[in-house]
Each structure stands twice: as structure tokens, then as C-alpha cells.
Amino acid sequence: MDATAKLRVDHLKAGYDGKVVLEDVSLTVAAGEIRVILGASGCGKSTLLKTVIGLEKPLGGEIEMLGTKVDWSEGRPPTAQLRRMGVLFQGGALLSSLTVGENVSLPLRIHNPGLPRAVVEDLVRVKLGQVKLGHAYAKLPNELSGGMRKRAGLARAIVNDPELLFCDEPSAGLDPVTSRGLDDLLLELRESLGITMVVVTHELDSIRTLCDKITFLAKGKVVFDGKLDDAERNGPQAVKDFLARKSAPEDGKARSLAFNLEDA
């Protein structure tokens, strides 16, 4: 086993409302790596992310984050562990009643109530600058575009200098230019802050820009785990087809209708 691994998922079984979505999922993410989790819609990517970040309790298996096994004995993962990670949600998940600045400062204010307000403000401005959103400090989330909301969500996710950053569909719903900008931003953050990242996406352009390794899920199972080049050359056919943008065969069959035709 890799001792420098920032995230280790071992034989994970996960689901919700009594439904098993993931079965026997294992993966290891090394320090400084960008791992892309991909697969077609409904394959269990989001369930994997929700379980790893502690929003859903695993039904079986183990998760080790930042060198410590995630302990669910108190009904939720330990605060100390959660504070060392950051999450960028699909729509940004900014609190709509707070300004961008208040949203980004929220984890700091809650966890460090004694911190002087001016210091918090300065730190928030630095983080907003890192995501190129310095001008939006006093704006409300509903005054921002989709891409700006995601960047604000990213600023909030990195405000505590996390060692591990999870991103859920960072480029979903964005135009190609904004999407590319966000991918570049993630790469810059990895370079400047050395953050290990787990990115869930099915956008092929993002995958090619970002990933060091991919984990491909299909029907709740890992069908490929390794480098993108390997997947394209030696991966299972389903993975090759996905990466080559070939559509998967549809479920079910179709039959022709035999009409009775007569000439007039």
C-alpha cells in the first residue's frame, strides 16, 4: 500500500434509501495527484463522492482520508478530518442569504470565532483573488453567473488550505471557454498550493486537461483504474468507447412494424 496516499477507498459499498449503488469500489489517490472519477450518468460517481466526503454513511468497506480511517461512530465523520478537506459542489452550493465574502469566510468565522474580522476579510480577499473573483466580494450568489458561482464555491473550498479537494462536475453547465478557465484554475491551485484533487466529471475535455489518473465506474463498479493513455490503449471496450465519444448501446430492443400495404 502507498504510505503517501491522501485518500484510500477499500471495498466500499454505498447507497441510500435502502438501495445499493456502489459495490466493492477500491481506489487510492496519491499526494499531489489529480484523480478523475468518470463514467456515464447514473454509474454511481456522485454517490461515491457523497460517501467519501461524509454526506452518506458507507454501507460497507473502509475509507481512509489523510492517513486516518474515517470514523462514523458519532454519526458523522470527525470535524478535524473534514476541516482538512474542501468540496466544490456542482452548483457552487453558496448560501443564498450570504454575500460571496460572507460565504467564503463562513468556515473561518465558525471554526475560529475569536479571529479578528479584518484578518478574516483580508484572507477572504486573498482567496477570492486566487480564483479571480476579487470584485465580487459584496455580491449575492444570485447576482453571479454559473461560472462565477463555481469559482466562489472554489474559493470557499480552499479557504482553510485543504490538503484534499473534491470537485463535483466542475465544468458541468458551463460554456467551453469558462469550463477551460475553471480547469486551468484547478491546475494552478495544484501547482501553487500542492492540493491533491478528486474530480468527478464526465466532460471529456476536462478529463484530458486535468487528470493524472482516472477511475472509470460503470453500474456501481470500478471497471478501470489507471492512466488515461492506458485506458485508451488497453482499457475495457466500454471505457475506450466512452473516451472516444461513442455512445453506449441502448438498453432494450426495437422492432420494425409490419404494416399491411395495398396499392390503390
Site residues (vs other proteins, CB under 8 A): 17, 50, 53-55, 76, 79-80, 82-83, 85-87, 89-91, 93-96, 106-107, 110-111, 113-114, 153, 156, 166, 252-257, 259-264
**CB closer to other proteins, 177 vs 261:** 261
Closest approach of other proteins to the CB of residue 229, in Å: 32
Distance CA 143, CA 170 (A): 19
User: 3-class DSSP state for residue 199?
Assistant: strand
Beta strand pairing call for 60-65 and 34-38: unpaired
Q: 27 or 164, CB closer to other proteins?
A: 164
Strand order in the sheet with 68-69: 19-30, 5-16, 60-65, 68-69
DSSP state of 158: T
Smallest distance, other proteins to C-beta of residue 62, A:
20
Pairing of strands 196-200, 34-38: parallel
Burial of 224 (0-12, 13-18, 19+ CB in 10 A): buried
Considering the complex, what minimum distance in angstroms separates the CB of residue 87 from other proteins?
4
Q: Compare residues 111 and 208 and give the one whose CB is closer to other proteins.
A: 111
Query: From the CB of 116, what's the least distance to other proteins, in Å?
Result: 12
102 vs 58: CA distance, rounded Å? 32
Q: Which CB, 96 or 192, lies closer to other proteins? A: 96
Give me the least distance between CB of 74 and other proteins, in Å please: 11
- As given in the structure block, the three cell numbers for residue 149 are 458561482
Cell numbers given for 187 = 491546475
Least CB distance to other proteins at residue 264 (A): 3
Cell of 176: 467551453
Q: Please, which residue, 229 or 262, has the CB nearer to other proteins? A: 262
CB of 110 or CB of 244, closer to other proteins: 110
Structure-derived torsion over alpha carbons of residues 201, 55, 64, 27, reported in degrees to the nearest 10: -30
